Structure 1
Amino acid sequence: MVPSARSRRSIRTTSRRRLLAATGAGLATALAGCGDLRTRTLDRPETVEEDGQTHLHFDDGDRRTATISLVDRWDAGRLPYAIRLPAWHAADTYLERLRYELRPLGGAGTPEFSLTRPGGYPWEPIEFARGDDPEVTVIAVPELGVQGRGSVAFDLLVEPRNDEAFELRLDVAATVESSGVLGRTYELEGNLVRTLPGYDRFD
């Protein structure tokens, strides 16, 4: 039996639809695979101690992607004292999001943290709150916007709870995006511990 012209057109149309569907599925899979290849988690930063500051260096091979630090900015004669949390990233990248969790260790009691209002261009909403653990203080900006094009720093005032020095753990989570259509996305995870003074340092 010879197929009619209508049947042949129907077969060709069905074949084209199947081809387009298969091509679309393959393209979607390829793009999803590219997305997976573009995203890299950097969760083993190098910790560097310096006088008055501790740094987390996040490297992709030989390339430094970002540095996040805790810096002492306190004067021995004044309370509350100040610390700074600066975040630097490479020139061809921008900081998409940033989250800090501050946790005192060793049962030292939770210090009173006050966030100094950041300057510069208007900011997207900043979360400054107690965490699920009542001893944890959270600073988070899910979308940094224009602020993420440069370095970002938060200044905090600290009122200790006890006379003795205490250890403060800083947990960091951030997203850094490379410029360009095929740029890489970096998910940063790390933590550092720094000793901060208690009341007796200011007697």
Structure 2
Amino acid sequence: MENGQLLYLRLRHRVQVRPSQHVYFEDIAQYIVAPHYEEKLKRLRIHTVSPEDRHLIVIDVVKVIKRLQEVIPHLEVEVLGPSQTIIEIVYPQKSPQFLLVLFVWILLFTGSGLAIMNFHEDVSMLAVHQRIYKMMTGIEEPHPLWLQIPYSFGIGIGMILFFNHVFKKRLNEEPSPLEVEMFNYQQSLDHYVVMHENKEVEKKLNDNT
């Protein structure tokens, strides 16, 4: 083997492309190779997005290696990291309809408000506030507002701190529990896609049956 025909390959986990876009080797991979091969491989076409691809495409490392060896027959590839990359086709988004957004906002606002009120009713929060007020002042008060008002503000502030966002502004660099759960969900979804949408794996399974 000639010197410099070793390529270290690491596929990207997820790549976003547009409809009908050509997917090149440099788009889906990080790699180290001899300089005289770099320009040759950088614009190597791996896939062309077609309407049949729908929303997600899984590119297997075996397909990538075969394509590389078509250009450089004696290329030795050392794979590092994941063996598949997920290509997400991003279609142009329609502008949101004002009435639909308003309806969803009202629905979520009403639903969350009812959920909070039902929770407080279940745990008898009013009775707890009345008892705390009586313990501190010795006076029975049916509406202990000086406890209820700060408590209401505290709920809002607590939600802001919990989600670590004020509208689009992040309070600090630490991810919120919701972001962690969304990340775990995305990881599980990507794993499912890799296992069920990978045509190379499906072909091998069918050949073995």
Whose radius of gyration is greater, 1 or 2? Answer: 2
Q: Same fold (TM over 0.5)?
A: no
Question: Normalized per residue, which structure has more helix?
Answer: 2
Higher relative contact order (CA 8 A, sep 6+): 1
- TM-score, normalised to structure 1's length? 0.22
TM-score, structure 2 as length reference: 0.22
- Structure holding more strand per residue: 1
